Amino acid sequence: MEKEDLQIFIEWVNKPEVFGVYNPLHQMSKTEVEKMLENPYDFQTFIIERKDGSKIGFIAHFHVLHLGTGTKQLEIGYSLVPSERGKGYCSEAIQIMVDYLFLSKDITRIQAQTDQRNLASQRVLEKAGFKKEGTLRRNFFIRGEWTDDYIYSIIRDEWREPKILTKTT
């Protein structure tokens, strides 16, 4: 994500249609988004672009906090604009992200959380090799009700080798 992407990213994070019906409603000011993006070590965002350069969504990774334990795991999150869903773009983006993270970072595990009703999100994770580990009960309060999430993960041993990106060193 570059500075020039900031405006479209702010529009997306403030649009419930982009985040979908299974994410909590929230609003962020430009200042808050800038602050969030200031620390790339904790939260790094990538814009998903089609080959023609049009920007259609984002995928991000961030640390799972277990303070002081030296844990080596990251979590990912993603959203596409509604008109570009169902075309395989997010499956490809997740696969590239998994390759990138295992190739470039000393981590053992990547995880993702998704609402139990979010079948598209579960499918893209499974296509990228993630396995369902369990249920996070009453994980979010969304549109007036508590919701349960599934937690998924892929570990380095299962990934074994890059599927899309190639190792250059």
Task: State in angstroms the smallest separation of the CB of 81 from ligand COA.
Answer: 8
The shares of helix, strand and coil residues in the chain, as percent rounded to the nearest 5, are 35, 30, 35
Task: State in angstroms the smallest separation of the CB of 92 from ligand COA.
Answer: 7
Q: Which residues, other chains included, contact 130 with Cβ-Cβ below 8 Å and sequence gap of 6+?
A: 110, 112, 152, 153, 154
The reply on whether position 20 binds ligand COA by CB under 6 A is: yes
88 is written with which tokens? 């395989």
The reply on whether position 89 binds ligand COA by CB under 6 A is: yes
The reply on whether position 80 binds ligand COA by CB under 6 A is: yes
Q: Among 8, 36, 46, 85, which residue interacts with ligand COA (rule: CB under 6 A)?
A: 85
Task: State in angstroms the smallest separation of the CB of 147 from ligand COA.
Answer: 11
Q: By beta-carbon distance, which residue lies closest to ligand COA?
A: 20
The reply on whether position 147 binds ligand COA by CB under 6 A is: no
CA angle 142, 143, 146 (to 5 degrees): 45
The closest alpha carbon to 158, from 134, 126, 135, 122, belongs to: 126
Q: Among 95, 114, 147, 153, which residue interacts with ligand COA (rule: CB under 6 A)?
A: 114
The reply on whether position 123 binds ligand COA by CB under 6 A is: yes
Q: How far apart are CA 139 and CA 26, in angstroms?
A: 16
CA angle 8, 36, 32 (to 5 degrees): 70
Q: How many residues bind ligand COA (CB under 6 A)?
A: 21
Interface residue list for ligand COA (CB under 6 A):
19-20, 22-23, 78-80, 85-91, 114, 118-121, 123-124
